[in-house]
Chains A and B, each alone.
Chain A
Amino acid sequence: MSLLFSQRKSHGASNTNPGHRLVMYFIRHLQQALASVGELWRMPISSLLTMAVLGVSLALPTTLHLLMKNGQQLRGSWDSAAEITLFVKEGISDSQTQKVLRRIGLYEQVNDVTYVAAEQALEEFKTLSGFGDALSYLDENPLPSVILVVPSLQYSSPEGARELLEKLQRQPEISFGKLDVTWLEKLTAIVNLLEDAALGLGVLLLLAVALVIANTIRLSILNRREEIEVLKLVGATNDFIRRPFLYTGIWYGLIGGLIAWVCVSLILWWVEGALLDLASQLGSELTLSGLNISEFLILIALSTGLGWLGAYGSVMRHVYEIEPENQL
């Protein structure tokens, strides 16, 4: 250990047993991690305020993420938007129609097939349109038989549905098909735009978290300048000096992440009450999904990582700068 005096021994951690040294290394890290908690505890109000700022900054992108996630689930329930209508050629017999139905139903791109016979369509039209009496004057049924096809999830996108439509139109029994995708395309474009905007906003807010932590650690380093100088004078390495600050950053991030989680849970609970109200009026079932365990862990890991990153940036700049040169 001793650099200038080889005959001198320091009896402390410089135990020759490497296993023991490793254990001591972790024990010292643990000590410094706990010491930095004590450091935060010395100024509880300002520490808590900083953590609250971090929590709120992290709660925003997390809420946006949940919005997107629930939005996607909602969009999933609008699969029928990409429903394809196939018009059966005239003069096709019932048995032929059944064969076509079976064939289409076996396609892996197809989720569901419904057959609406011409007579059935006419009945529906009579009751729904209000032209019931007028229609009875017609000599023959003007409506064709129709096959309604619901594509599977992968083929419910505008491109997929269009591809499926072309395939279905090649069936000899089908005269032509129709697919209304323009509004679906618009919806997709809007959702993509919102997702991009949310992503950009999220990145900015995460950057803000790292900067807030970097600035907090910077102030804490400058406040403890005297202490850092003394530590350097009695032989502390830069690693030793910066460790408590890195741990402080990690604690800020960790607790900020937990606060964000609490905020998001509260928002969810609040919105769920309102949603229940809406659902009972609409007569349908609407549920919100919150953060699952892996998302929670990602949030915590991200916030802790940002805490470390912010602290690291500050430490690299300021701890190395402080040198006990002016006074001896």
Chain B
Amino acid sequence: MIRFEEVTKIYPGGQQALNRVNFHLQPGEMAFLTGHSGAGKSTLLKLVAMMERPTSGQVFINGHNLNKITKKQVPFARRDIGMIFQNHRLLMDRSVFNNVALPLIIEGYHLSDIKRRVAGALDKVGLLSKINNMPNTLSGGELQRVGIARAIVNKPPLLLADEPTGNLDPHLSVEILKVFEDLNSVGVAVMIATHDLGLIARMKYHTFTLRQGQMIHDGLSSSDLRESEFEPVI
């Protein structure tokens, strides 16, 4: 689903964010991307989302080389990727319905389709009753779930989540992860970047670990990871 081949990213100014990274996320797989701040997690996700381009090497999604996607094609390619952000990035001046409907409006769906799909996506994250609420009336966990609903509303085959539980307490984090697991069970590939090791420890999922821009661990579960790889999470 996502394949990196010798990907190096050096930002203007000389900061090397990724150094010859190779990995492969299988279709329909759910995996974690870990590493402490500055290890290159965000850069890796940005390369997948085409917000940045690699300095060298190649990124493939579903066999398509992203280097060959032109600037004009980027918006269309992004419609195949659902993205979830730590700070949810909802538009606070629009209702939950309008936020979740955004990807469908952009693609020009009929209103009847939009209504049906938004209701379906909100139902999946358990927030159908809040469809007409404004975001500022929702809790942090609910906002994050609205963000997930927006990411899945047009049924993308790939989901990227950057620290989706970063602002949530452990109980809510487990709830959010349950949503990802449900989505994964119907065939959506999910990649979750997180430094919340406690979260990963409970689950047996493929884990990619970055340190200083290099992929140092690519294996199942995190049980064999030494805690010393990470700085304490504050």
Contacts and interface: CB of A to CB of B under 8 A. Distances in A.
A225 B83 CA distance: 18
B69 interface: yes
Given A3-B64, A227-B91, A10 B52 contact: no
Interface residues of A, number: 31
Contacts of B85: 327-328
B49 A230 contact: no
Interface in A122-144: none
Interface in B63-101: 64, 69, 72-73, 75-80, 83, 85, 87, 89-91
B109 A13 contact: yes
Given A233-B89, A327-B85, A5 B157 contact: yes
B107 interface: yes
Contacts of A11: 109, 113
B113 A3 contact: no
B69 to A, nearest CB: 7
B108 A14 contact: yes
Interface in B139-189: 150, 154-155, 157, 162
A236 B49 contact: no
A8 B157 CA distance: 8
A232 interface: yes
A327 B87 contact: yes
B104 A12 contact: yes
Nearest to B157: A5
A234 B64 contact: no
A4 B62 contact: yes
B107 A3 contact: no
A230 B79 contact: no
A12 B107 contact: yes
Contacts of A236: 75, 106
Nearest to A31: B105
B72 to A, nearest CB: 8
Interface in A213-272: 226-227, 229-238, 240
Interface string B33-70: 00000000010011001011000000001101000010
A102 interface: no
A79 interface: no
Contacts of A3: 64, 69, 73, 76-77, 79-80
A4 B155 CA distance: 14
B102 interface: yes
Given A12-B109, A12-B110, A227-B91, A325 B61 contact: no
Nearest to A239: B75
Contacts of A237: 72, 75-76, 106
A79 B103 CA distance: 70
A234 B78 contact: yes
| Residue among B69, B90, B107, B113 with most chain A CB within 10 A | B107
Contact of A328 (B51, B69, B102): B51
Given A8-B157, A235-B75, A236-B75, A328 B45 contact: yes
Given A230-B89, A328-B162, A12 B113 contact: yes
A10 B45 contact: no
Interface in A1-22: 1-5, 8, 10-14
A24 to B, nearest CB: 6
Interface string A65-98: 0000000000000000000000000000000000
A230 B102 contact: yes
A28 interface: yes
Contacts of A4: 61-62, 64, 77, 80
Nearest to A2: B80
Nearest to A6: B62
Interface string A58-69: 000000000000
B109 A323 contact: no
A200 interface: no
Nearest to B102: A234
Given A12-B108, A28-B108, A325-B46, A235 B62 contact: no
Nearest to A320: B71
A148 to B, nearest CB: 75
B186 to A, nearest CB: 14
A324 interface: yes
A13 B107 contact: yes
B152 to A, nearest CB: 12
14 contacts: A1-B76, A3-B69, A3-B80, A8-B155, A13-B108, A14-B108, A230-B90, A234-B150, A235-B107, A236-B75, A237-B75, A240-B75, A327-B89, A328-B49
In the A-B complex, list the 7 residue pairs whose CB atoms are closest, starting with the nearest. Answer: A13-B108, A12-B109, A235-B79, A235-B78, A237-B75, A234-B103, A4-B80
Interface of A: 1-5, 8, 10-14, 24, 28, 226-227, 229-238, 240, 323-325, 327-328
